[in-house]
Structure 1
Amino acid sequence: MHRLKSLLAAMPSSLRFVLALLALSFLAGVASVTVLYRQDAAQARTSAEVMTGGSAKAGQEAIGRYNCGACHQIPGIASAVGRVGPPLNGIAVRAEIAGVLANDPANMIRWLRAPQHVVPGNGMPDQGVSDRDARDIAAYLYTLKK
């Protein structure tokens, strides 16, 4: 730190001014990216909640209660590191659910509630997910666009 101070003291004031402007520009850029990221996440959450009639935050909690992470990797869920089922990153922008259903909220909720009814014998067990929990889980999953 002492070396930096002596280096700055030896610089002409015009160069220190340019460096200060450069540092401020960098910080403003970081702040802008952060704001855009948070706005995008909030918009994705709102859109997902409107589509499903659920709560993304409650969906995160339900994913934990149903232990979905034992089989799936799920972004934003610390304990979701399973490798049995497919990873769920980007599930919101996939064309299909389980390779047979169009990826829309009604089908997502249907799949979450009774996967064995939709595709008998598939690897995802029926967990007895309630309609409310399915809507909440679907809301969370529809925030996963990447």
Structure 2
Amino acid sequence: MIALLQRVSRSAVRVDGETVARIGTGLTILLGVVKGDEKGDVDRLVRKIPYLRIFPDEKGRMDRSLVEIGGSALVVSQFTLAADLRRGRRPSFDAAMPPDPARELYEEFCRRLAEHVPVERGIFGAMMEVEILNDGPVTLILDSRKL
């Protein structure tokens, strides 16, 4: 599983012009599910993400977690994180998990993360407009296989 985290002042998802999810201060998490991912990958990400010390303390240092600041997460499925760009100019998405099992792991990730922080979601498989006001900017990439 690949999670691209963006620390945000606010974030929203629109589908067909309608806002379906919105958060204030927190994290927008673009989540890519790749072939071979399983619930253990969900476990590793959920143990790490809510407690990453990437929010500023009173001195402006990154020393607070999403849990500590009372922030929220907006989780958006993002199969394009599985892109292979080594050959040619058109990305290959062969490494992306097929939609049905990917949806199950995406839903499991959202459920488990919601045990720690408030979670909003995009719509799995939909064409979405994602509005992100990146704070910092702070952007991190986590690969569950490297945690």
TM-score range, shorter chain: under 0.3
Q: Which has the higher contact order (CA 8 A, sep 6+)?
A: 2
Give the number of the structure whose residues are more often helix, by fraction.
1
Give the number of the structure whose residues are more often strand, by fraction.
2
TM-score, scaled to structure 2: 0.25
Larger Rg: 1
